Structure 1
Amino acid sequence: MRNLLIMLTLLWLSGCAYKAEQAPAGSWQAQQNTLSQLHNWQLSAKLGIITPDERGSLSLFWRQNSNDYRMNLTNVVGKRVFDLSRNGQNVQLTDSKGKLHQASNARDLVLELTGWDLPVEQLSYWIKGLPGVGDKVTYDAQQRPGTISAHGWQLQYLGYTQIDGLWLPSRLNLTHNDTQLRLAISQWEFK
């Protein structure tokens, strides 16, 4: 009986030790793990773009399905600025006149057609508050990303909101050379 009691105690202790190594529920590490596995989501936001030549406010709708996405930008009166989508390795942009453009790189395509430098591929991670590999990160008091420096971009997370138990960015500022982006996310949805 004594041996059985010792065995049960050891099994219980080993179970506790295993749980102690896992990230505590609600911690940023646990949320990072969850967010990195979140591949299907969509959001609605306001996007401010400031360049030396123009200043504008747009509505942004973004739907992400694994590596594929659809990004729709409209102006204040609801007119399409462009639709950008990626399906496999194919990137397509439909401009405001309905003309279709294709490329293998979204950032270069947007820059060529609009003059806007948008880090589309990185933004799909940054918008969730996830730094990329090699990104320089500083953290806020809750250990969430506060700033990220990568690929010549400087990101500043100005607000977070809690949705379904996850802390997600609600406001971001991004700067690169003479381009500044201000993003205010109004709605997140997960699939």
Structure 2
Amino acid sequence: MSPQKPLEVYQLKAMRHLQQQKNWEFEGRLALANDKDSVSVSINWRHSEFQDQIELVGPLAQGRLRIAVTPERVELDDGENRRVFNGSADVVLSEQLGVDLPVSSLKFWVLGVNDPGQDYIEQPEGFYQGKWLVRYREMQTVNADTLPKKMTAEKDKARIKLIVDQWVLL
């Protein structure tokens, strides 16, 4: 019997280069919760240098929401209505979804790194940034990199839980 490969351990310093990753995408499962609501969806997130395209699909393919984020605007398309908002994606999404989804930092957090535009405090298994405690429960090897498989982010009563099933670094 061959010995089992040890689980990859989260190390922020070893992952810092991923802040420069311009194009990536992943598929996985996302759970969002606050003191009033909780929702679990499938997520497909495609990131490029100029735009984030996030598709959320509810259980049993019920309810599909496409979110397109650029520095200037946010577009929400649920298949019936397409709405365009100007302003901060974090504020727009919080108002429209009813739960905190800090996309501007989350696009770094999902890669296992802090948002380089904000201060942070390193913690065991993660870091504290923008009032969020971000933790990485499980890592996976993708090409020559180590990327998150399971992560959580918590702020007050808001909680984000992400499981990444498949990564593609472009």
User: TM-score scaled by structure 1?
Assistant: 0.75
Give 1:39's aligned residue: 22
Give 1:142's aligned residue: none
The alignment status of 1:165 with 2:144, answered yes or no, reads yes
- Select 1:186's aligned residue among 155, 162, 165: 165
- 1:136 maps to a residue whose letter is I
Give 1:13's aligned residue: none
What whole-Å deviation, never above 9, does each CA across 1:102-132 have from its counterpart, x for those lacking one?
1221111111112111110100001101112
| Alpha-carbon distance in 2 for matches of 1:28, 1:55 | 29
Q: Closer, same or farther in 2 for the Cα pair 1:171/1:81, shift >3 Å?
A: same
Give how far 1:31 is off.
Answer: 4.1
Contact 2:105 2:115 (C-alpha < 8 Å) held by counterparts: yes
Q: Which fold has the larger relative contact order, with Cα–Cα distance below 8 Å and residues 6 or more apart in sequence?
A: 2
Larger of the two Rg values belongs to structure: 1
CA RMSD in angstroms, aligned pairs only: 1.9
Secondary structure class of the residue paired with 1:117? coil
Contact 1:43 1:187 (C-alpha < 8 Å) held by counterparts: yes
Q: Closer, same or farther in 2 for the Cα pair 1:171/1:106, shift >3 Å?
A: same
Give how far 1:100 is off.
Answer: 1.3
- 2:156 maps to a residue whose letter is N
Give 1:176's aligned residue: 155
| Alpha-carbon distance in 2 for matches of 1:88, 1:159 | 31
The alignment status of 1:50 with 2:29, answered yes or no, reads no
Aligned length: 158
1:42-191 correspondence runs (5 A): 42-95=25-78, 97-133=80-116, 134-139=119-124, 146-191=125-170
Contact 1:72 1:80 (C-alpha < 8 Å) held by counterparts: no
What whole-Å deviation, never above 9, does each CA across 1:41-66 have from its counterpart, x for those lacking one?
10011011222222221011100011
| Alpha-carbon distance in 1 for matches of 2:136, 2:63 | 28
Q: Closer, same or farther in 2 for the Cα pair 1:96/1:178, shift >3 Å?
A: farther
| Alpha-carbon distance in 2 for matches of 1:180, 1:73 | 17
| Alpha-carbon distance in 1 for matches of 2:57, 2:29 | 10
The percentage of aligned residue pairs carrying the same residue is 20
Runs of at least 5 residues in structure 1 that lack an aligned partner in the other structure:
1-26, 140-145
| Alpha-carbon distance in 2 for matches of 1:93, 1:180 | 22
Secondary structure class of the residue paired with 1:161? strand
Give how far 1:30 is off.
Answer: 5.6
| Alpha-carbon distance in 2 for matches of 1:116, 1:136 | 24
- 1:127 maps to a residue whose letter is V
- 2:149 maps to a residue whose letter is S
